Structure 1
Amino acid sequence: MTTSTRPAARSETRPGRPAASWSGPLFAGLGMALVGSQVAVSGVLADAPLFAVQALRYTLAALVLLLVLRVTGRTVPAPRGREWVWLAGVALSGLVLFNVGVVRGVAHAEPAVIGVAVAAVPVLLALAGPLLGRTRPTPSVVVGAVVVTLGAVLVTGGGRTDGAGLGYALLTLLCEAGFTLLAVPVLRRLGPHGVSLHAVWIAAVALWALSLTTEGPGAVLSLRPEHVPATLHLALSVTVVAFLLWYTAVGLIGPGRAGLFTGVVPVASAVGGVLLGAPVPGPVVWLGVAVVVVGVLLGLNTRPTRQAPPRTGTQLPGG
């Protein structure tokens, strides 16, 4: 775990300032909205080789991130020591196993079941995020996370499943939470750009290995022209932009409060479906959207607190 003398979370350490600045919630909401936009390409890529597409996606994202760093003159510190373990955890859980859980899970359960599992992420982040920072969970954030989860469940609905489906749903939940929680120990020193870059290239290596061993060396050559724009959308919008927005938000407002905005994913998916010609959702879905909004507002409505200066530089952002 790295050390630093900088404040753990800008919005939580300065008395008199709101507990959550506008920039943190805005970045978190936009990032999760982009993640929810995957609905726009899921149908197009349904018959494409999964691991090859994901490997190509993260390879392109790594190259774009390198270009962004070069153009902006940013430098990313090289990971050291245990930071490699945290980064590998982010890549393998949040980027590799998450996709495996989703794809294999829908073979045993209706997609809504997997969606409900992901909807439980705000509660997990609200409870586990502060523990990483050696602080207690904030009651208002936990309450808001529960409300967001209930709203997201209303949006995604329920569905049939079997034992294997429940197992994959649990795997998906843990991997989605790991994408955020495992990044917290290295986020301060490496920054959003560093965490994003190292996570995507590690994931790309792992996914190329999976593609070669399970789909064959010619899998990527089987992609059709209509698959290319969808893959570019995943690489640029859902990976590069969304990852940078998300990790910046986590650094600003902590994983607990940022986790509230994972409830935006099913909402963005529902809205995106309508824009693509899907039937307009029923009243229950719109009720769920309203409940998500209420939950986010409850979670962000936290009074600023004074925190004692950290004894060491290893304190992490709290929820």
Structure 2
Amino acid sequence: MLAAVAQILVGSSVAVLAALRDYPFYLGQGLRYGGAMLVLAIVLRMIPKLDVAAGSDSSSNRRLTLRDYGRLLAMSLTGMVGFNLFALAAERRADPALVGVIVGGAPIVLAVVGPLLARRVPSVRIVFAAVVVTAGVVLAQGIGGGSLSGVLLSIGALAGETAFALLSVQLVRRIGAMRVSTYACAAAVVLCALGTVVTGEMRMPTTEEWLALAWLAWGATALAYVCWFGSLGLLGPERFGLFTGLVPFSAVGITALIGTGTPTWGHVLGALVVGSGIVLGLWDKSARQLTPAGRK
């Protein structure tokens, strides 16, 4: 449930990003992550034990090391600021459908790379489920076209998304989803502040832009990240990656809800394929092999 909610919230950001199309990138992202960091810090201060329910080990040492700080910086550089920069640049040089399909290959990358980094053999079942999920995304979005630079930028966005998940696994299990979310947002604020200084692009948001930034900060970032990291710590990167296939369908559903998009039968069929891939990836035969004594 945490993984599904996280991807639905991430997909909802697509519906409001149009309102920020003309707003300075680094300043907008800085306000987004700054607002999310503030909310997360307040909640964590008020309910310090909340992280135990989000996948952390309450008995572990939560003090950050120099390696942890480096990992948080890498997470914000690749999966937060970097991903958005690559995705935005890719959509200017390639069909959005092509960008979505390439980034939609994240389940396959996580299903293969995640176990290899942990020195395990990838699960054939989960890899096949990831292929099914990616096929569902392709069915819904089509292939599209674009230049070589658009394809390379899309691959950069894919690398950023997968690096974000893989870099955070051990950190989430040690210090918890709430703290990882808060610290990652803080690191992203620093990077965005540097980008704003370098570009010199600054102006006050309009009312519509403030509303878009508020949702991105509180819904599509603060709440989404807690669900994202919480589910990642509980499921592991391979099974968690299957749920990234829900993002395009969440985006389509929410744009239809607010009247800015219309779902097609391709989206419906693609969603069914993605759903079947997720079920296949989560299916555990050992659950059917319990003895009567184990059904307490």
Question: What is the TM-score with the length of structure 2 in the denominator?
Answer: 0.89
Q: Which of 5, 9, 14 pairs up with 1:39?
A: 14
* 1:157 Cα deviation after fit: 2.1
Correspondence list, 1:162-311, <5 A: 162-216=147-201, 219=202, 221-304=203-286
Q: Which of 16, 27, 31 pairs up with 1:52?
A: 27
On the 8 A contact 2:26/2:196 being kept in 1, the answer is yes
**Letter of the structure 2 residue corresponding to residue 54 of structure 1:** Q
Q: State the partner residue of 1:89.
A: 74
Q: CA–CA distance in 1 between the matches of 2:139 and 2:252?
A: 11
CA distance change for structure 1 residues 98 and 279 in 2, over 3 Å: closer, same or farther?
Answer: closer
CA offset digits 1:284-315 (Å, max 9, x no partner): 2211111101111111113349xxxxxxxxxx
> Secondary structure at the residue paired with 1:205?
helix
Gap regions ≥5 residues in structure 2: 52-60, 288-296
> Secondary structure at the residue paired with 2:253?
helix
**Letter of the structure 2 residue corresponding to residue 148 of structure 1:** V
> Secondary structure at the residue paired with 2:37?
helix
Q: CA–CA distance in 1 between the matches of 2:30 and 2:97?
A: 26
Q: CA–CA distance in 1 between the matches of 2:14 and 2:47?
A: 31
Please list every run of at least 4 consecutive aligned residues from structure 1 whose deviation after the TM superposition is greater than 6 angstroms.
none
On the 8 A contact 1:140/1:301 being kept in 2, the answer is no
> Secondary structure at the residue paired with 1:38?
helix
Q: Which of 52, 62, 69 pairs up with 2:37?
A: 62
Tell me the percent identity.
36
Q: Which of 85, 91, 112 pairs up with 1:127?
A: 112
CA distance change for structure 1 residues 279 and 34 in 2, over 3 Å: closer, same or farther?
Answer: closer
Correspondence list, 1:11-22, <5 A: none
Output the aligned Cα RMSD: 1.6
Q: CA–CA distance in 2 between the matches of 1:144 and 1:151?
A: 11
Q: State the partner residue of 1:27.
A: 2
**Letter of the structure 1 residue corresponding to residue 184 of structure 2:** A
> Secondary structure at the residue paired with 1:226?
helix
* 1:171 Cα deviation after fit: 0.1
* 1:279 Cα deviation after fit: 4.7
**Letter of the structure 1 residue corresponding to residue 19 of structure 2:** V
CA distance change for structure 1 residues 64 and 172 in 2, over 3 Å: closer, same or farther?
Answer: same
CA distance change for structure 1 residues 59 and 78 in 2, over 3 Å: closer, same or farther?
Answer: farther
Q: CA–CA distance in 2 between the matches of 1:282 and 1:185?
A: 40
Gap regions ≥5 residues in structure 1: 1-25, 306-319
Q: Greater shift after overlay, 104-113 or 162-171?
A: 104-113
Q: CA–CA distance in 2 between the matches of 1:44 and 1:207?
A: 19
Q: CA–CA distance in 1 between the matches of 2:83 and 2:200?
A: 18
The structure carrying a bigger helix percent of its residues is 2
